[in-house]
Amino acid sequence: MIVVSDAPSPAAPAARRVSSVEEELAVLLPTPADLRAALSRYADAVIEDERRSTPETIRQREDTAYTLCVMTGVSDVRDALSTADALLSRRAPESEAGRRDHSGAVPV
């Protein structure tokens, strides 16, 4: 988890302004990897439940939906999905900047 705070810390006397998504999510934000893993588990649970609904698949779908809601700080899975998308798209440029192409290919 990534901790976001407006409170000054001893190392950084000036408070850091957080984005509106971070403000809505209060203090803790999931890492992109954790968020992607939770989204993947939810998608798998939905697919399995739609394919062959049983008490177990229903419970798994509800559990993964709850996990996404907790991770994103909302109470509805539809809101959790849109919040997760917003968080991942907000962080996408940062992750792209850190990647290097070691293939030797020339960009076109």
The predicted structure's pLDDT at residue 90: 85
Q: How many CB atoms lie within 10 A of CB 64?
A: 21
Contact 77, 64 (CB under 8 A): no
pTM flag (> 0.75): no
Residue 14 phi, psi (nearest 5): -85, 135
Q: Which two tokens stand for residue 64?
A: 């993964």
pLDDT at position 20, please?
62
Are 75 and 10 within 8 A, CB to CB? no
Distance separating alpha carbons of residues 64 and 82, to the nearest angstrom: 15
- At 47 the pLDDT is 97
Instruction: Record the tokens describing residue 18, joined without a space.
Output: 């957080």
**pLDDT-based confidence at 29, cuts 50/70/90?**
confident
